[in-house]
Amino acid sequence: MQRILFNFILALEGINANRLRSILTALGIVFGVGAVIAMLAIGNGAQQAILEQMKLIGTNNILIEAVLPSDKEEEESSDVSSANSNEDKKPHSPGLTLEDIEAVNKVLPTVEIISPELVLSTNIIQSAKLIKAKCVGVTNAFFELNQLDLGSGKRFHEKHMDGGKPVCIIGKNIQTKFFSQENPIGQKIKCGNTWLTIIGVLNDRNTSKENLKSLGIRDYNSDIYIPIQTALLRFKNRSTINKSDIGNRGGNNKDENYHQIDRAVIRVNDSKKLQASADVIARLLKRRHKEQIDFEIQVPELLLEQERKTQDTFNIVLAVIASISLLVGGIGIMNIMLASVLERIKEIGVRRSLGANRQDIILQFLFEAIFISLIGGIIGVLLGVFSATTIASYADIPTIVSPWSIILSFGVAASVGLVFGIFPAQKAAQQDPIKALRSD
């Protein structure tokens, strides 16, 4: 141990005697470690954002969106005579309805939960305050699918769902705007021309604006939720038609929304059957809608999973690119240590003549290489954490510095010093003492 400690002290003295060269040698390790930590922080931040998005949309969900049919075929046939165009008119489509949802539930055995939604933009009035917000017709399945818990009050009862009762559950932002100083349960709030009794308040859902925008979902805190039958009976039922409506369905008037509901979310019980279930739903709805594609089906989890795999590949590429900096830093250490051996041949000869063996020479130069790598690793860790924080603050990119990335980078830095320091150390130990003493 005394010999090892003595060689370690000699290594420190050698580094101190050539401080500028040691600092320049360590720069490769500094930038390499810093780049690895910063790159992994960016990758971890992106992955965390994807996981948050997957939590927001839920697992094993299929999304059905009501859309208005394209009128491309009408544009292509604009030169056809009016008689022929009347014959070619598309048949009437009933649009996306609650009956479609019931049919899917009856036909598809993989269905676990179905949540239809009807979104109405309206004015919200209470205590002489007015705001514009969304009044959303839902069932209790909506709260389960979106993992929305009640902070106070209760969910809809069966009598609320079947009888079109004027009741509602409000988001946290609605409570803050209208009932900041009082309990909203049991009080009334006006949506459009209808007064609703508040029976529940949702817990606050913290969600970034970026996630809301990228997923195309609303801010659950800012909506008012009513039973879907209440929305159809007391607000608007777009499936109610008259004679003039019949000719306008099937794509001839794409500005008129004839869908009874706006969307539905279906959770299946097996993630392996997501795509197959979506295909069955598409065929069923196409048949029920008279072969018209006035709906859109998405499987968000599969899209996000693909995005996650792409991000994993991207993270690997980033880590490899950053690791090249460590490799270059290691080669720099080896080059400088080899140059140091040539410059200190006489010192090696003196040590050997005074009783130092080859192992002592190897340890001295190896300690120098490892110490330079460790110093570079420490500074590199600080640089990487600082870079990740700066990127998150100024570039608006989420970054997460994980402990394992610091440990990995620091461990690699130490290993680089060990691996690339062995050859110069052995080169120094192999010097002939007599020839070394004769050198200038």
Which amino acid is located at 94 in the chain? Answer: P
Q: Would you state the pLDDT for residue 241?
A: 61
In this structure, the dihedral spanned by the alpha carbons of residues 280, 283, 286 and 290, taken in order and rounded to 10 degrees, is -130
How far apart are alpha carbons 324 and 332 in whole angstroms?
12
Question: Burial of 64 by CB count in 10 Å (0-12 exposed, 13-18 middle, 19+ buried)?
Answer: buried
- Give 147-169 pLDDT, tens digit per residue: 888 888 898 887 767 778 899 99
Sign of the Cα torsion 252, 254, 258, 262 reads positive
φ/ψ of 201, rounded to 5, equals: -130, 130
How far apart are alpha carbons 428 and 363 in whole angstroms?
10
Could you count the other beta carbons within 10 Å of the beta carbon of residue 291? 11
- Give 120-138 pLDDT, tens digit per residue: 888 998 888 888 989 999 9
Q: Would you state the pLDDT for residue 199?
A: 92
Categorise residue 158: left if φ over 0, alpha if ψ from -120 to 50, beta otherwise. alpha
> In the chain, what are the domain boundaries?
2-52+306-438, 68-293
How far apart are alpha carbons 35 and 381 in whole angstroms?
9
pLDDT less than 50: residues of the chain: 71-87, 250-252
Q: Would you state the pLDDT for residue 395?
A: 73
How far apart are alpha carbons 191 and 125 in whole angstroms?
7
Q: Would you state the pLDDT for residue 85?
A: 47
Q: Would you state the pLDDT for residue 73?
A: 45
